[in-house]
Amino acid sequence: MSAPSHSTTQQRTYRVAVIAGDGTGPEVVREGQKVLEAAAKAEGFTLAWEPHDFSGARYLRTNELVSDKDIEALRATAAIYLGAVGHPDVPPGILEHGVLLRLRFALDQYINLRPVKLYPGVWTPLKDKTPEHIDFVVVRENTEGLYAGVGGFLRKGTPDEVALQTSVNSRKGVERCVRYAFELTRARNKRKKLTFCGKTNVLTYAHDLWQRVFQEVAKEYPDVQTDYAHVDATCMWMVKNPEWFDVIVTDNMFGDIITDLGAIIQGGMGIAAGGNVNPQGVSMFEPIGGSAPKYTGKNVINPLAAICAGGMLLEHLGERHAAARVEQAVMRLTPQLKSLAAGQMGYSTTEVGDLVARYVAEWKAT
């Protein structure tokens, strides 16, 4: 959490980098900024937006991705607000590695925080499940595992070729992630249950280390109940009994997979938000849905995921009241939407942004 800088008028001011990106990214970020501005106004602080053009479109124009100088500029900000990076004309892998993973790694955003919460009136594919059943958070390790980029080819392109992709699990990396998850479980103060999701029966080195670290750190949190579930079983329980989960901690690859499952049970990409968090550095918040090129410029995409990511950003800055305003406003709107899907909301992108901003301004703490 970063300390606010104080201007001469005593008003708290935060510099926030904005990476609007490609496709519908700019449209959803614009609505998010509108809502965050309303929250800042109501709670008496200022957001100083700082646009950065890292996108597929720029890459196609200039061949540039994210430079060391760009990283230094981002380090001077309080947080990063990301729309979506992805372009149909850029081959897969380039933007993922050159922008998203580059930022996560260079800024050491070692936690990927993914709340899975079903809001009122939102349709879930899970039969008989309501908001009281779906409210948990996935803490995904975000800088190691299979994403570390360790591996290589032998005899590439020949009939005898071999490809290796190694999962990297350092004690320090695992421990800081597990510790974050325990702290979060305690701070949430809900069911106070932390589930380690792994595959200890097969990944007998990597997840042996995870398991030992998990059990060691658990001793410092006697108030937190611990649990374990294999990743395959976790998928099953997320569908059958999502109410069993409070906080789940897992490695990078498993976290990537189970959070898409999480997104769909909370209503889909229209609402799913996430944070790439470095508790000691600069964190980045994003809707997890991607650039949705076919909806670009049509004013039909759902901006709620970006708005929720903005709420997480405010929470991260320590502006808890502003964050609560955003969440309450979203929860006031969701029962009025016909659907969360693009083009089927019953409202346009900008209308959703306008309504949430209005509810943010109107909200009274009870």
CA–CA separation, 6 and 99 (whole Å): 31
- With CB cut-offs between 5 and 8 Å by kind, which of ligand IPM, Mn ion, none does residue 194 bind? none
Interface residue with ligand IPM among 246, 256, 315, 327 (CB under 6 A) is 256
User: Exactly one of 256, 315, 319, 327 binds Mn ion (CB under 5 A); which one?
Assistant: 256
Span near Mn ion by CB under 5 A; candidates 128-136, 177-185, 210-218, 254-262: 254-262
> Max CA-CA distance within the chain?
70
**Identity of the residue, 259 or 283, whose beta carbon is nearer to Mn ion in the bound complex:** 259
**Among the listed residues 91, 86, 36, 77, the one whose alpha carbon sits nearest the alpha carbon of residue 57:** 86
Question: Would residue 256 show up in a list of annotated catalytic residues for this protein?
Answer: yes
> What is the identity of the amino acid at 251?
D
Q: Near ligand IPM by CB under 6 A, which window of 59-67, 71-79, 94-102, 314-322? A: 94-102
96: contact with ligand IPM by CB under 6 A: yes
Considering the complex, state which of residue 101 and residue 235 has its C-beta at the smaller distance from ligand IPM. Answer: 101
CA distance 16 to 289: 21
Catalytic residue chosen out of the listed positions 147, 246, 251, 359: 147
Alpha carbons within 13 angstroms on the beta-carbon side of residue 351 total 12
Is 147 catalytic? The answer is yes
Binding mask 284-303 for ligand IPM (x = CB under 6 A): ----x---------------
SS3 229: strand
Site string for ligand IPM, 99-128 (x = CB under 6 A): -xx---------------------------
Residues 6+ apart with CB under 8 A from 204: none
Burial bucket for residue 40 (CB in 10 Å: 0-12, 13-18, 19+): buried
Told to check if 80 binds ligand IPM by CB under 6 A, we report no
68 given a catalytic annotation: no
Tokens of 212: 């030992």
Rounded Cα gap, residues 133 and 329, in angstroms: 21
Q: Output the six-digit token pair for 339.
A: 């659907």
- The residues of the shown chain that bind Mn ion, judged by CB under 5 A, are 256
Active site residue ranges = 147, 199, 232, 256, 260
